[in-house]
Amino acid sequence: MPKFCANLSWLFPELPLMDRFKAAKEAGFDAVEVLFPYDCAAQEMRDQLVWNSLTFVLMNYPPPNATGGPQGFAAVPGLEDRFRRDFDRALRFAHVLKPRHIHIMAGVADGPEAEATFTENLRWAAARAPGQSLTIEPINRHDKPGYFLHDYDTAARVLDAVAAPNLALQFDAYHAHRITGDVPGAWAAHGHRAAHVQVAGFPGRHEPQGGEIDYPAFFARLDAEGYAGWVSAEYAPAAATAEGLGWLR
């Protein structure tokens, strides 16, 4: 089976965030991700990671988004200065938290100018933080209306244009199903670009079991192809988190 990590922004919602690290470890996870850690003291979160022997896999950029801010602006023309300023802020958090990946969110935009802006901002960010792995993720427009990066061909085109060794694809199987209806096909075409994978069931975005996505087959394929990255459980538990972890075992 692949290496699984817990998305603490989604799992264990019955607990305060700082208590979720211990809960994840006790549930069998050796790694976690937190989408927007910016409302917490970075060192306090780092302490939780160390005390519970957890790898920190991923966080999102930009801050803040959890309180209703824009869902990114890397592809929004005219906001280049804000992109660069807030990217440096994210790097200060990353210096303490040491995430394997920072996911750069594109935001709401459309058209060739937006793609050019996204490409140039990513090129700048990759050069700004050459030792930090960065990812971009196609997100379906049903869940995030107007989101710029909503298909895999665009993601591939942008990745090829930037051509940075520290920029890769973030492949969310739930979004892939929403976008294409064909997770195996999307992975076959684009999985070689992926540095990080996320999973959730469909429909409902609950546990990755049953439903329309054949996760046993998907996990077996990741193993067969030698995928070495983490697979994040990014879903809304149907009940108490621990009760729904049968898929993990």
Q: Is 243 marked active-site?
A: no
Q: Is 80 marked active-site?
A: no
Q: Which of 240, 244, 235 is nearest to 205 (CA)?
A: 235
Distance CA 184, CA 121 (A): 30
Instruction: Choose the catalytic residue: 33, 115, 137, 207.
Output: 137
DSSP SS3 for 169: strand
Long-range contacts of 204-208 (CB under 8 A, 24+ apart): 204/236, 204/238, 205/174, 205/235, 205/236, 206/235, 206/236, 206/237, 206/238, 206/244, 207/235, 207/237, 207/238, 207/244, 207/245, 207/246, 207/247, 208/173, 208/233, 208/235, 208/247
Distance CA 130, CA 137 (A): 19
Token duo for residue 153 = 């061909």
For residue 141, the 8-state DSSP code is T
Distance CA 239, CA 11 (A): 10
Instruction: Choose the catalytic residue: 33, 115, 207, 234.
Output: 234
Residues 6+ apart with CB under 8 A from 90: 59, 61, 62, 63, 102
Active centre residues (catalytic): 137, 234
